[in-house]
Amino acid sequence: MRIIQLTDVHIADTTETPKGGVDTRSNFLKIVQKIADEAHDLMVLTGDICLDVPKMSIYEWAYRQLNKYLDISKIDFIAGNHDQTNMMCAAFGLEKHLRNATYYYTRNVHGYLFVFLDTSRGVVDEGQMGWLKNEIESSGAREIIIFMHHPPVYADVPYMDHNHAMKGRLLFQTELRSFTDRIFHIFCGHYHVDRTVAFDNLIVYITPSTYFQIDASVVAFRVDHLKTAYRVIDLNEGRGLISYVKYL
C-alpha cells in the first residue's frame, strides 16, 4: 500500500501575495499533477491549506483542483494552525467526524490503525487525548500510524522549536510512551523541513512544505530553499514501513 503525504501548501487567495513572491497555487497544482501520475492508494493532506488566514474561497479552489486530478474519495484531510476546522470540513464535506469544532477519527487499514488528529489550535486537547488512548487500547494493532499537523517533539529546528512548537507535547509523549507494546509512526508537517526523530516507541516523520523550507542552522527565521516536496509512505506486508521524501 502506498500513501502520499502532502502538507503546508499555504494556498494564497487571488488578493494575497506569499512571502518571496512564491506562487503557491502553481506549486500546489504542479505537485498534485505529479502525484496523479504516481500510483498510490491514499493521499493525506496534513494541514495549512490556507496561506495565512483561512478563507472559504481557498478551500473551494483547492477542492476543485484535487477533484479534477485525483480521486477525492481517497484523500484524507486534517487541519493545521492556518486552517479553520469548521470551514475546511464544510468545504470538503467532512462534517461527519466533527466533534466540538475539532476533526479527528480513526480507521483500520491493512492491519494498521490509522489515526487522524486535529492540532489546528496547536494542541491535542484533553477530549481528543482521552479518545486517542481509548482507540489505542481497543485496537489490536501493534503499529499505529498517526497523521497530525504539529510534530509532538522538538526537532532541532530552532526557530520552530522556540516559537511554534506544539503545546502539551510532553504529556502527549508520555501518554503514547506508556503503550510500551506499540510502535507509533507519526507523520507531520508544520516545521517546513525534512526530519525524522526517533524517541522510544515514537518515530516522527516531518514532511517539507510545498511553499518554502526553513533553515534549521540558525535561530532566527530564514528561508533555506524553495524546493517543493511530498512524502511517500509504503506499507509492505512482512517488510514493515518505508518512507522517504520526493523533491520536485
C-alpha cell at 142: 501493534
- 3-state SS assignment for residue 107: strand
CB 224 within 8 A of CB 216: yes
In angstroms, the CA 205 to CA 208 distance is: 10
For residue 64, the SS3 value is: helix
Helix ranges, 81-125 (H): 85-92
Q: What is the pLDDT of residue 140?
A: 86
Helix axes 56-69, 24-36, angle to 10 degrees: 30
Q: What is the residue type of 246?
A: K
Confidence of residue 109 (pLDDT cuts 50, 70, 90): confident
Output the CA angle 23-28-30, nearest 5 degrees.
95
pLDDT at site 112:
87
User: In this model, does residue 238 exceed pLDDT 70?
Assistant: no
Query: Predicted confidence band at 240 (pLDDT cuts at 50, 70, 90)?
Result: confident
42, 74 contact by CB (below 8 A): yes
Domains with residue ranges and CATH for the chain: 2-247 (3.60.21.10)
Does the structure show a pLDDT above 80 at 237?
no
* Listed range (10-19, 70-79, 102-111, 211-220) with the worst mean pLDDT: 102-111
Task: Please check whether residue 176 is in contact with residue 107, taking contact to mean a CB–CB distance below 8 angstroms.
Answer: no
Task: Please state the three-class secondary structure of 132-184 as a single string.
Answer: HHHHHHHCCCCEEEEECCCCCCCCCCHHHHHHCCCECHHHHHHHHHCCCCCEE
Q: pTM of the entire structure?
A: 0.96
- 17 Cβ contact partners less than 8 Å away, ≥ 6 residues apart: none
